[in-house]
Amino acid sequence: MKAEEFREFGKAAVDFIADYIENIRDVEVLPSVNPGYLVQSVPTEIPENSENWRVIMADINKIILPGITHWQSPNFHAYYPTASSYPSIVGEMLSAGFSVIGFSWICSPACTELEVVVMDWLAKFLNLPQHFLHSSSGSGGGIIQGSASESILVAVLAAREQTVKRVKQEHPEWSESDIRGKLIAYSSDQSNSCVEKAGLLAAVPFKLLPTDKDCILRGDQLEEAMSKDLNNGLIPIICVANVGTTGTCAFDDVASLGPICNANNIWLHVDAAYAGAGFAVEEYSHLRNGLELADSLNFNLHKFLMVNFDCAAMWIRDANLVIDSFNVDRIYLKHQYEGLSKIPDFRHWQIPLGRRFRALKVWITLRTVGAQGIKDNIHKHMSLAERFENYVINDNRFEIFAKRALGLVCFRLKGDNDLNSNLIKKITENKKIYMVQGKYKNTNFLRFCVCGMDTKEKDIDFAWNEIQKQSVLVLQEADDLLNGNYMKDLHIKHDSEKHKIMLDSENTILSVDSN
Amino acid sequence: MKAEEFREFGKAAVDFIADYIENIRDVEVLPSVNPGYLVQSVPTEIPENSENWRVIMADINKIILPGITHWQSPNFHAYYPTASSYPSIVGEMLSAGFSVIGFSWICSPACTELEVVVMDWLAKFLNLPQHFLHSSSGSGGGIIQGSASESILVAVLAAREQTVKRVKQEHPEWSESDIRGKLIAYSSDQSNSCVEKAGLLAAVPFKLLPTDKDCILRGDQLEEAMSKDLNNGLIPIICVANVGTTGTCAFDDVASLGPICNANNIWLHVDAAYAGAGFAVEEYSHLRNGLELADSLNFNLHKFLMVNFDCAAMWIRDANLVIDSFNVDRIYLKHQYEGLSKIPDFRHWQIPLGRRFRALKVWITLRTVGAQGIKDNIHKHMSLAERFENYVINDNRFEIFAKRALGLVCFRLKGDNDLNSNLIKKITENKKIYMVQGKYKNTNFLRFCVCGMDTKEKDIDFAWNEIQKQSVLVLQEADDLLNGNYMKDLHIKHDSEKHKIMLDSENTILSVDSN
């Protein structure tokens, strides 16, 4: 492709994206295709000869668009946001234009140094402890990892290696494999699946400790589990605390977990992938309690900070512990500026060798939006969630399931799990809004999260309207299944002929009889 | 940022990239900045208020560009290529425009399905065995990982978990930690650093077996090491064979390694990050010998296939073995289409949960270039390397160090290591071209690799000219250090006053005396 063609193609793509985002509110958030739709509609081999970009652009409309789930739609309320923004998209393009691989300083000084800069910017914006700053006196700092999963895995692996080293020094008579066989890690039963996965990958089992009724893990729970394990000869290496669980955005009590970790010489990692944004605003300043005890922390910029995925910020108190665990150098990677303090060779801080110039999109986005603009965005998510919560509270068919936090509201139809699963199913099938359900101690609930690139109050109203509409159908069906025995004062019925359900006048389930 | 502003900013960025690439030949390939240049020149906090994109664009010219190492320059001959291309850049932008996270089919059917399509396209283009195709009858297929490092780590982890499971079944009396403590993995001493790192991360030591004089690992070497280890009670899990080592692009003898792996029930992974492109062309068809025995294989599209980093293709014979090792599901990830055969939930095939829509840039690039165009590109790299090799061969100050392979020529100034290190140093300091050195059994050599987005014959000539120029200086300095005792028929001298060097009439070093 010649430069002139690229100028045309690139500009057409810019317009395509702008048109896509401008009209995203008008299309169904979920696609209407069946599995295999695309596989079956395209050639089975690379075309022999070059195709014109206009043909390809037409296919993006014809083949790709129908199979897109619109994460940037204001009607997307599933999972957590994967926000993007116009400046971030341009940053991504520029980064692809340079196509440098920043595994060491010499491989593009701007790539490494801009990352140092924006990670310190972010640490200050989030009011993180000094020890996470590159510009502090210690050996800490931040890095952009590919994902929260990778960040947590890096923490687990570093904790594992430094523990093995320490225990081996304390007990030279123990074999390394004996030590490795006794390692144990902790998190809560509300932690993201990637925590458990990190344990599998690292071959260190995670104990997923039970949380309290608010889905919170506290120090006493950790202490109890750890002292039991220590008595049994196990060797704890890390506790991954959640600041914003995936299910309900609960906040583990870092302030009580931290001292126990510190006292027992185990790594404290804080997974603040979503709720880390709270560190930046007054309303959630209490979340910062205990952070001064953390060894590492991760926070996704594609949640509130409008930098598109992938962009998982991670801060490490003592990067040397990570470097010591992973460093495998080769002569072809050496360069004359190596080892200069304060300019990290980030390849030693992460799993892969190669790394994209991700700092560019961060820098462009943060400057375009400004610190005040980001705070405004966080507050916007909070107030939209509050608006939604009010709708729920004022409808007595529903109940709030967990305390609203940042942009997330967890709620449910009063009644049994099937009712709620049916509601999610109906909503998904109707494709007007997209939500997913959560589960806590056998209770299913619905998660409503403010996502999208530009969600407004009218979108919250639209979503609530849709939820109400589908709820009427679900409740009506449940009633029909009970052979029309619909009682006007009881909105809660059951959806299966195989069950009979008894409700009291408060719509609480008294009993369910299965045939 | 409003859509209208994005249209302006985006189009300005398109022009910036086109201008950058069109003029890349005229700028020094290496930057002229000192460590800290950028950190010291930008504000230390996020600006409070939004900045205009024109200010940011100006800063990209002023602050970023001076700190870029120009990987797409035709004068970049270091490492291996990280090719980009115009269509790939547009693909990256479109993918950022959609900003979907394809961890399951429902999260954007197009994202998962297009990946299935392009991975089969590539498998066919590379003439890979049937068992690596999604469209084959088995449970194999391809996935785009973030990096070769991650691909190799996934293979090591899957091999580890399935071995532990198997051995535990065979020996239920052994404890799991006993089994894990005995695990061992193999690769050659020429393998990329990421292989050894995968071992560190997986807590499975890699034996880096010695290669023959051509840097090749063969079956007998593996068999010898493995039978020794088996006798010592160790449990082999994987052999990572290199098809194209990082140092000299040597090709391990997969055909002799494969049967030994198969016979001993250990995983055979082929790291073809660079040289996998050879599978596509007749000249290197012999590299395909033994691939039918491989359990997994990785190949970087940003080497010959013009898709910008990150884009590491990986194929797996039996994806269920990976899925079984890593699967940690949660209710919020479940969807109604789950488990449908042939439409993989790729999150189970990789380390992170999230994944970008990388297939889009692959699809756009492959279609824009066409199968014939890609083959032409591979042949172009080969013939440019041959052109360079001829220059080396015809200059008796130099010697070829390893057999030319694809786009890589390994060569050196006849004489000692310091001479070659000095040459690399001078070349790097002069910033006209960028190369790095390699080392094999205490001998340093220079690696000349055809990289860049559009390298031409004149660029090879330019590079050779620069190498000659710097060589004269290096040899002259070596002579000066010998107090002007320069012998016209001997071009090889030593660069240190602390050493005396004796050469014969063929310029071969007879002896070196150290004071």
Q: How do residues A61-76 score in pLDDT, each as one tens digit? A: 999 999 999 999 999 9
Asked whether A187 and A242 are in contact (CB, 8 A), the reply is yes
In a domain, A121, yes or no: no
Contact B101 A82 (CB under 8 A): yes
Question: CA quadruple A361, A362, A363, A364: dihedral positive or negative?
Answer: positive
Average pLDDT of chain A?
91
For residue B334, what pLDDT is reported? 64
Asked whether A185 and A240 are in contact (CB, 8 A), the reply is yes
Contact B97 A374 (CB under 8 A): no
B300 is catalytic: no
Contact A247 B332 (CB under 8 A): yes
Same structural domain, A285 and A158: yes
At residue B326 the predicted structure's pLDDT band, cuts being 50, 70 and 90, is confident
Backbone angles phi, psi at B145, to 5 degrees: -95, 170
**Cis ω before A310 (30° cut-off from 0):** yes
Sheet (strand A443-449) strand order: A398-405, A408-413, A443-449, A436-440
Residues from chain B contacting residue A96 (CB–CB below 8 Å): 84, 88-89, 92-93, 308
Contact A117 B38 (CB under 8 A): yes
What distance in Å separates the CA atoms of residue A352 and residue A309, rounded to the nearest whole number? 17
Mean pLDDT lowest among A313-317, A323-327, B154-158, B441-445: A323-327
At residue B355 the predicted structure's pLDDT band, cuts being 50, 70 and 90, is very high
Residue the block writes with tokens 């890979």 = B128
Residue of A3, A67, A90 lying closest to B113 (CB–CB): A67
Catalytic-role residue among B192, B300, B377, B420: B192
How close is the nearest chain B Cα to the Cα of A373, in Å? 7
Q: Return the residue in B86, B314, B323, B428 with the most chain A beta carbons within 10 A, the one to mutate for interface testing.
A: B86
Contact B356 A331 (CB under 8 A): no
How close is the nearest chain B Cα to the Cα of A227, in Å? 21
Longest dimension (CA), chain B: 82
At residue A496 the predicted structure's pLDDT band, cuts being 50, 70 and 90, is very low
Asked whether B279 and B127 are in contact (CB, 8 A), the reply is yes
What percentage of chain A has pLDDT greater than the value 90? 86
Domain with A51 in it: what CATH number? 1.20.1340.10
Burial B9-47 (b: 16+ CB within 10 A, else e): bbbbbbebbbebbeebbebebbbebebebbbeebeeebb
Q: Return the residue in B7, B178, B332 with the most chain A beta carbons within 10 A, the one to mutate for interface testing.
A: B332
Backbone angles phi, psi at B44, to 5 degrees: -95, 0
Catalytic-role residue among A192, A298, A300, A308: A192
Same structural domain, A303 and A394: no
How close is the nearest chain B Cα to the Cα of A482, in Å? 26
Q: Return the residue in A8, A64, A240, A338 with the most chain B beta carbons within 10 A, the one to mutate for interface testing.
A: A64
What distance in Å separates the CA atoms of residue B16 and residue B18, rounded to the nearest whole number? 6
The whole-number average pLDDT for the span B241-259 is 97
Question: CA quadruple B440, B446, B450, B453: dihedral positive or negative?
Answer: positive
Same structural domain, B107 and B55: no
Same structural domain, B105 and B224: yes
Q: How do residues B189-232 score in pLDDT, each as one tens digit? A: 999 999 999 999 999 999 999 999 999 999 999 999 999 999 99
Residues from chain A contacting residue B96 (CB–CB below 8 Å): 84, 88-89, 92-93, 308
What distance in Å separates the CA atoms of residue B147 and residue A154, rounded to the nearest whole number? 16
Same structural domain, B293 and B347: yes
Report the residue of chain A nearest B33, measured CA to CA.
A109
Q: Give, in order, the Cα–Cα distances in Å from A448 to each of A4, A191, B29.
A: 46, 19, 50
Name residue A149's amino acid. Answer: S
Asked whether B365 and B85 are in contact (CB, 8 A), the reply is yes
For residue B335, what pLDDT is reported? 65
How close is the nearest chain A Cα to the Cα of B67, in Å? 5
Residue the block writes with tokens 């502003």 = B5
How close is the nearest chain B Cα to the Cα of A287, in Å? 22
For residue B483, what pLDDT is reported? 61
The whole-number average pLDDT for the span B89-115 is 96
Same structural domain, B74 and B112: no
Contact B67 A113 (CB under 8 A): yes
Residues from chain A contacting residue B42 (CB–CB below 8 Å): 117
Long-range residue pairs from A170-176, CB within 8 A, at least 24 positions apart, any chain: A175/B181, A176/B181
What distance in Å separates the CA atoms of residue A13 and residue B430, rounded to the nearest whole number? 39
What distance in Å separates the CA atoms of residue A134 and residue A128, rounded to the nearest whole number? 12
Report the residue of chain A nearest B121, measured CA to CA.
A45
Mean pLDDT lowest among A6-10, A137-141, A381-385: A137-141
Q: How do residues A200-225 score in pLDDT, each as one tens digit? A: 999 999 999 999 999 999 999 999 99
Q: How do residues A297-308 score in pLDDT, each as one tens digit? A: 999 999 999 999
- Other C-beta atoms lying within 10 Å of the C-beta of residue A213: 8
Q: Return the residue in A70, A279, A328, A448 with the most chain B beta carbons within 10 A, the one to mutate for interface testing.
A: A328
In a domain, B361, yes or no: no
Q: What is the DSSP string of B402-452?
A: EEEETTEEEEEESS-HHHHHHHHHHHHHHTSSB-EEEEETTEEEEEEE--S
In a domain, B90, yes or no: no
Contact B13 A343 (CB under 8 A): no
- Other C-beta atoms lying within 10 Å of the C-beta of residue B193: 17
Same structural domain, B404 and B476: yes
- Other C-beta atoms lying within 10 Å of the C-beta of residue A15: 15
Contact A10 B11 (CB under 8 A): yes
Query: By C-alpha distance, which of B57, B48, B13, B8 is closest to A364?
Result: B57
The whole-number average pLDDT for the span A101-119 is 95
Residues from chain A contacting residue B351 (CB–CB below 8 Å): 149-150, 153, 197, 201, 351
What distance in Å separates the CA atoms of residue B323 and residue A324, rounded to the nearest whole number? 30
For residue A502, what pLDDT is reported? 45
Same structural domain, A155 and A265: yes
In a domain, A345, yes or no: no
Contact A177 B175 (CB under 8 A): no
In a domain, B363, yes or no: no
Domain with A225 in it: what CATH number? 3.40.640.10
Name residue B420's amino acid. Answer: N
Residue of B50, B201, B371 lying closest to A48 (CB–CB): B371
Q: Is the pLDDT of residue A495 over 50?
A: no
What distance in Å separates the CA atoms of residue B79 and residue B183, rounded to the nearest whole number? 32
Q: How do residues A7-49 score in pLDDT, each as one tens digit? A: 999 999 999 999 999 999 999 999 999 999 999 999 999 999 9
Q: Is the pLDDT of residue A184 over 80?
A: yes
- Other C-beta atoms lying within 10 Å of the C-beta of residue A481: 16
For residue A508, what pLDDT is reported? 40
Same structural domain, A148 and A55: no
Residues from chain B contacting residue A366 (CB–CB below 8 Å): 46-47
Domain with B447 in it: what CATH number? 3.90.1150.10
Q: What is the DSSP string of A285-348?
A: GGGGTTGGG-SEEEEEHHHHS-PPSS-EEEEES-HHHHHHHH----GGG--TTTT-TTS--GGG
Contact B96 A308 (CB under 8 A): yes
Residue the block writes with tokens 């009970």 = A482
The whole-number average pLDDT for the span A170-181 is 94
For residue A48, what pLDDT is reported? 98
For residue A383, what pLDDT is reported? 98
In a domain, B325, yes or no: yes
Residue the block writes with tokens 């993918």 = B95
In a domain, B94, yes or no: no
Q: What is the DSSP string of B253-274?
A: -HHHHHHHHHHTT-EEEEE-TT
At residue A310 the predicted structure's pLDDT band, cuts being 50, 70 and 90, is very high
Number of domains forming the structure of chain B: 3
Contact B1 A86 (CB under 8 A): yes
Domain extent at residue B268 = 101-356
Same structural domain, A139 and A78: no
- ipTM confidence: 0.92
Backbone angles phi, psi at A241, to 5 degrees: -90, 145
Residues from chain B contacting residue A200 (CB–CB below 8 Å): 161, 325-326, 328
Contact A117 B42 (CB under 8 A): yes
In a domain, B477, yes or no: yes
Same structural domain, B169 and B301: yes
How close is the nearest chain B Cα to the Cα of A367, in Å? 6
At residue B17 the predicted structure's pLDDT band, cuts being 50, 70 and 90, is very high
Same structural domain, B272 and B160: yes
